[in-house]
Structure 1
Amino acid sequence: MRISNAHDLGLHIRERRRLAGLSQERLATRAGVSRRWLAAFEAGKPTAEAGLMFRVTAALDLYVDVQPEPPRDLDLDEYLKRFDGPR
């Protein structure tokens, strides 16, 4: 999933929490953060502390994977040829 801002991350965390059947209070306790902080994080607060965000993602058995943005002028056919190997 591509997440590029605090709002999208908060929405994703909220969705994952709900799918796990956890209340905000339960997840906050599991992650070692306050329920108030978690509510602000789920609402997309852009100044949420990174260390606490990692606690919450870990409490939901998630991890963060940072990838470079693909070039906008990528030629998909040329890119895929790299994986064909010698013929």
Structure 2
Amino acid sequence: MSSVPVLNPISLGAAVRERRLSAARTQAEVAADAGVSRAWLIRFEDGHPRAELFRVFAVLRALGVSLHLDDDITTDQDREELAFLDQLLGADDER
């Protein structure tokens, strides 16, 4: 399968959901394999901004995918959208 750009929690959750659906797996199946609750997986797929990293990696493993870091290829519009999302999510409060 192809790589997907992940720029924020929402796009990460959407990419995971897309991968889960393309593998024809239910949320319950993936959650059980990852050792997380189905409720947690639902929030994660919806882009919850404070998902615990160890659980994120457990879900990725359960789906047979990994995380790769690439050079930044965001456009000015991407940066504006990211800044807006940061404001909505209160990211500045965490720094």
Equivalent runs, 1:48-59 vs 2, <5 Å: 48-59=51-62
**How many residues align structurally?**
72
Aligned counterpart in structure 2 of residue 9 of structure 1, from 7, 12, 32: 12
Letter in 1 for 2:57: F
Write out the 4+ residue segments of structure 1 that deviate beyond 3 Å after TM superposition. Answer: none
| Deviation of the 1:68 alpha carbon | 2.9
Question: Which residue in the other structure is 1:22 paired with?
Answer: 25
Higher radius of gyration, 1 or 2:
1
Please state if 1:33 is matched with 2:36. Answer: yes
Q: TM-score, normalised by structure 2?
A: 0.70
Equivalent runs, 1:47-86 vs 2, <5 Å: 47-69=50-72
Q: Which runs of 5+ in 2 are unaligned?
A: 76-95
Question: Which residue in the other structure is 2:49 paired with?
Answer: 46
Q: TM-score, normalised by structure 1?
A: 0.76
Letter in 2 for 1:38: L
Within 1, Cα distance between the matches of 2:29 and 2:62?
10
RMSD over aligned Cα atoms: 1.6
Q: Which runs of 5+ in 1 are unaligned?
A: 73-87
Q: Percent identity?
A: 38
**3-state SS of 1:44 partner:** coil
Greater fraction of residues in helix? 2
CA offsets 1:11-61 (integer angstroms, 9 cap, x no match)? 111111111111111110011111000000000001000110000011111
